[in-house]
Structure 1
């Protein structure tokens, strides 16, 4: 492969990563919060972009998962660097636009920033105020894929991902899940084997003394027996299940259909799985029937092309 071919392949994977995030989000949005049994009763498997359902939106509509990732991507493209204050400002502007979907921890942190708390202190304050069981959601994991495109240097990317997570989600399980997911996406963008990509993330998690729950989730993500996979909004469940589905199947479509059809927090499972699967298979692997109704497809392509 020539350098030109290699660069073109990475661009296709980069576009696939962000488009995959948006497609997975939109595919999962209509069945968010439904059980797997309810999903099966109504759809069998979620193979199409359905309208209505949860949040009552048209087919192809994305949620806070993609909208916050787009805030990150726009900031990176327009500033040329990670500017936490700029990212936080964009998050607050988005929050004040009255979105139809926003996580509780994210909302608490963004209100605090709006009311004067520094961007790099708000997530910590919210985390300390929330009881165990409601303080380690997946709201930062779902938006962190753009950093893998922008920062191929491991050390810098790890620092940036940690800083971004702490804007809203300072729990170490959230922070280290974002760092680990950045490694996986980076390796997949380079064309590495998906299980090797997860293994690299697990090695880094051990080096960083990440919480045991993060390391266990990464270890389980490539154990393709699929036992006891959970679909709640807990960041550990999302990391494990989304990475399992992104690595266990032989096509982008099967990865996404499987994860969304599980029910639960389907928009975020779809977004995280879609970002990893898109980086793995590339943009050309995403079904056109899913892209055609996607309401942000053109901007996502433009931003993904501008980031690497």
Structure 2
């Protein structure tokens, strides 16, 4: 990869991760509110961070960003494992989610874990974590009936958006990984907590869209690729139909956009969250429209933080870090950690020789 290509990719990785965090923090305070109520309080749509209903300071991120950060840390550690000749497997991502579980069950790092991310005190905060994620990860840790083990799919019928909202890092992998592999890997890791086909396949589709974009595809072309990949899997119909609905709605003449968002659902389940983010990204896909897109993505009667996060992941990958709303990018919680992980991810998957100091920061799982 030449220097220009490397810097373009780095900008996409940073843009996608930080864009997702911005969308998450923008939507978190209005999650659970109706679209009508949001519009009454914010007639021009919500374009700046506000205090959350739980008293969270403006710019506070939720479990969506927390789990995305542990996803990318798990991928870095999987890469380090591969550097040591152990092969690249997805189990380190599952182990990373187990470290995230500590942040939801403890008030501070215990000193029993390795790696630097789990030592970040600000992550030890419960930001409305999904019950499905908590239950599945607790089960993987402690065992019991109908429970998974590390690296094995959970047995449940959940298709909540807790899988799709965290898998963008798979799409950011370099083109040495095929889009088919990225789709399958994202689906598999979503399946550590969400067992329904739509919960997994929507996650694979998002990762495929982002991976194609990072490879230089337009958003429409990336959606075509994801749509074709979906048809290869049993149980794809809900996700395929949701993406078709999003694209058809985006092709209609402009109307009352927030009402259009609500036509796609509330975003509580995976395929709806993906469809809302795709719809908004399609109608506001110019770099200068980034904030317009995020503002619309969170203005609906549903899971506003997740739809905002996914929209930010997509458009951040499409346009890179330079297109992010500057004030929001500067003040979102965890900015320094997000960017550190982004840069470490790029380093891990571009260097040719193992780096001892780097490997010490990301021990193999």
Both proteins in one fold, TM over 0.5: yes
Q: Tell me how far apart the structure 2 counterparts of residues 305 and 289 of structure 1 sit (CA, whole Å).
A: 21
Unaligned runs of 5+ in 1: 128-134
User: SS at 1:119's partner residue?
Assistant: coil
User: SS at 1:207's partner residue?
Assistant: coil
| 1:150 matches 2:173 | yes
- Does the 8 A contact of 2:183 with 2:204 survive in 1? yes
- Does the 8 A contact of 1:145 with 1:182 survive in 2? yes
- Does the 8 A contact of 1:14 with 1:304 survive in 2? yes
Q: In the alignment, which residue of structure 1 is the partner of 2:21?
A: 22
Q: In the alignment, which residue of structure 2 is the partner of 1:106?
A: 133
Cα shift readout 1:55-98 (whole Å, capped 9, x = no counterpart): 32001110000001111112222342432442342232233236
Unaligned runs of 5+ in 2: 80-87, 107-124, 347-365
Q: In the alignment, which residue of structure 2 is the partner of 1:219?
A: 244
- Does the 8 A contact of 1:198 with 1:222 survive in 2? no
Match of 1:119 among 142, 150, 155: 150
- Does the 8 A contact of 1:194 with 1:247 survive in 2? yes
Question: How is 1:227-266 mapped onto 2 (pairs within 5 angstroms)?
Answer: 227=260, 228-249=263-284, 250=286, 251-266=289-304
| 1:196 matches 2:221 | yes
Sort the Cα spacing of 1:214 and 1:268 in 2 relative to 1 into closer, same or farther, 3 A.
same
Match of 1:306 among 315, 321, 344: 344
Q: In the alignment, which residue of structure 2 is the partner of 1:130?
A: none
Q: Tell me how far apart the structure 1 counterparts of residues 298 and 344 of structure 2 sit (CA, whole Å).
A: 29
- Does the 8 A contact of 2:267 with 2:274 survive in 1? no
Superposed displacement of residue 122, structure 1: 6.3
Superposed displacement of residue 176, structure 1: 0.6
Q: In the alignment, which residue of structure 2 is the partner of 1:131?
A: none
Q: In the alignment, which residue of structure 1 is the partner of 2:197?
A: 172
Superposed displacement of residue 120, structure 1: 4.1
- Does the 8 A contact of 1:23 with 1:294 survive in 2? yes
- Does the 8 A contact of 2:14 with 2:342 survive in 1? yes
Q: Tell me how far apart the structure 2 counterparts of residues 4 and 25 of structure 1 sit (CA, whole Å).
A: 31
- Does the 8 A contact of 1:95 with 1:110 survive in 2? no
Q: In the alignment, which residue of structure 1 is the partner of 2:61?
A: 62
Q: Tell me how far apart the structure 1 counterparts of residues 201 and 305 of structure 2 sit (CA, whole Å).
A: 21
Cα shift readout 1:92-151 (whole Å, capped 9, x = no counterpart): 223323613111211221221232241345621x33xxxxxxx21100100001111235
Q: Tell me how far apart the structure 2 counterparts of residues 115 and 122 of structure 1 sit (CA, whole Å).
A: 15
Q: TM-score, normalised by structure 2?
A: 0.77
- Does the 8 A contact of 1:140 with 1:168 survive in 2? yes
Q: Tell me how far apart the structure 1 counterparts of residues 323 and 309 of structure 2 sit (CA, whole Å).
A: 16
Q: Which runs of 4+ in 1 moved over 4 A?
A: none
Which moved further from structure 2: 14-23 or 212-221?
212-221
Q: Tell me how far apart the structure 2 counterparts of residues 195 and 292 of structure 1 sit (CA, whole Å).
A: 30
Q: In the alignment, which residue of structure 2 is the partner of 1:48?
A: 48
Sort the Cα spacing of 1:85 and 1:261 in 2 relative to 1 into closer, same or farther, 3 A.
closer
Q: CA RMSD in A?
A: 1.9
Which moved further from structure 2: 200-209 or 152-161?
152-161
Q: Tell me how far apart the structure 2 counterparts of residues 294 and 171 of structure 1 sit (CA, whole Å).
A: 33
Q: Give the structure with the higher percent helix.
A: 1
Q: Tell me how far apart the structure 2 counterparts of residues 56 and 108 of structure 1 sit (CA, whole Å).
A: 26
